[in-house]
Structure 1
């Protein structure tokens, strides 16, 4: 294999956090830091401010390119007041700014939280509702921030029982195209748009497996594609694995998505993900090995 041919990406070289990221040849590892007491994976272990900052620092030390900070889950549960969400995420954004070149995103669907986060220095808004609130597009358009447009169907923090699709990949792609157009119409430049098919968000395990299998159809939309597969229920149900036992399945899903065009992977287990991503980049011809010694001289047999 001499390389992996992708459909053209809109503005593949992005200037984010003072650094250039070439999404035609690079895969960004996005670490997850949740300042929530009810996050599905870490169960509140990084809810305290010092724990959240330490988790972000550790992720950067382990090689994460990106830190995604969340203060309110999308999953069903009580609504988090906007003021509380701002108080949770903004101090962590400010703390992470001490890492030059690290992309900082905030996982929020609240326009006021997005505005406060951008003012504090966040480079990306990760909206799991895909611009459901038109004000979100206005906030991002008025800034220099990137926007992640994610597919989901439900109102955030509400139950969406038994989602049905005739063709989940085609319908997710159509949704993303429509929401990209919404972003463009609101004044967000194309070079600041990222898409995410939303694994497990209002989808059952068969839907998420189908999206993983046909991720190239999402990448074909033409914008950098983010996948958030880490430790999700579609992996647990597929492998009959509890949340603490899904690392290998998460890595496998991420690698398969990268091979089909994903260029940002949102993951909990940073060290293992960084190694898997860099190896995948090398196999696909996107990067060179760190060094060459084996069978490269007369003394090697």
Structure 2
């Protein structure tokens, strides 16, 4: 899953792809490098981020969804928590809802159920503006598993089909450095939920703080962490550097299937 942020303030590529032409070029590049899902987001969820209006988010997201639909045979994910953006993006041709708020915003559950598409429920402690202030857990994995059980129950009760539910433990969303690495080390514990696992740790502070490097120097660490995630059962990798991640996956695949090379 290649990340396409059309926002001026995203933590990794803020402003870099915020114009329509540049965003289209970046989508083309990621598909050419092997992305099979393009995740389009029009509102930054970095720590401290301010919310944007529905109208502004729609203006950023919908034209890009239409462009990718017209030019590429890939899945399109819309990274939003707003019910109206979900509905309009799916109507424009998107295939998947990726919600950092796990369908807890107004009407999100009902709209997602009506749209009848896969939806990713992400865990976040608090809100983007304050989530990194003082995150605390009894046990970060146990607590997030309990959260997912509750959200999956709520989703099914609203009419969302179980096979349409994906989960994302939310690396960096209300977690300390230690919490993030415990999540990565114990990722296989989420298998108890019987839902595909989406992982987004590309270029995050858990990489930069540990390795003491700036955002654009975090790709090596991101690929290593992604490889560990796959070994622990991750199904979808949400990444900035598609080329490096695809190369890692090809080597893993060749190692597993060397008889057929």
The verdict on a shared fold, with TM-score over 0.5 as the criterion, is: yes
Give the corresponding residue for 2:207: 235
Query: What are the within-5 Å matches in structure 2 for residues 106-185 of structure 1?
Result: 106-133=78-105, 135-185=107-157
Give the corresponding residue for 2:40: 69
Structure number with greater Rg is: 1
Provide Cα deviations, 1:217-270, integer angstroms capped at 9, x if missing partner. Answer: 123311100000100001111111111111111011111110111000000001
Query: What are the within-5 Å matches in structure 2 for residues 186-205 of structure 1?
Result: 186-205=158-177
Distance 1:289 1:177 in 2: 38
Query: What are the within-5 Å matches in structure 2 for residues 242-261 of structure 1?
Result: 242-261=214-233
Distance 1:99 1:66 in 2: 13
- Are the aligned partners of 2:40 and 2:65 in contact in 1 as well (CA < 8 Å)? yes
After superposition, the Cα gap between the structure-2 partners of 1:278 and 1:112, relative to the gap in structure 1 and judged at 3 Å, is same
Unaligned runs of 5+ in 2: none
Distance 1:85 1:185 in 2: 29
- Are the aligned partners of 2:109 and 2:158 in contact in 1 as well (CA < 8 Å)? yes
Structure having the higher helix fraction is: 2
Partner secondary structure for residue 148 of structure 1: strand
Partner secondary structure for residue 220 of structure 1: helix
Give the corresponding residue for 2:22: 51
- Are the aligned partners of 2:10 and 2:45 in contact in 1 as well (CA < 8 Å)? no
Provide Cα deviations, 1:174-211, integer angstroms capped at 9, x if missing partner. Answer: 11111111111110101111000000101111100000
Question: How far does residue 274 in structure 1 lie from its aligned partner after superposition?
Answer: 0.5
Distance 1:80 1:89 in 2: 12
Distance 1:100 1:150 in 2: 27
Give the corresponding residue for 1:213: 185
Distance 2:77 2:95 in 1: 6
Structure 1 length-normalised TM: 0.83
Q: Root-mean-square deviation (CA), in Å?
A: 1.6
- Are the aligned partners of 2:7 and 2:15 in contact in 1 as well (CA < 8 Å)? yes
Number of aligned residue pairs: give it: 260
After superposition, the Cα gap between the structure-2 partners of 1:159 and 1:223, relative to the gap in structure 1 and judged at 3 Å, is closer
Question: How far does residue 144 in structure 1 lie from its aligned partner after superposition?
Answer: 3.0
2:248 alignment partner, one of 276, 283, 301: 276
Distance 2:165 2:54 in 1: 24
Moved more, 188-197 or 93-102: 93-102
Structure 2 length-normalised TM: 0.95
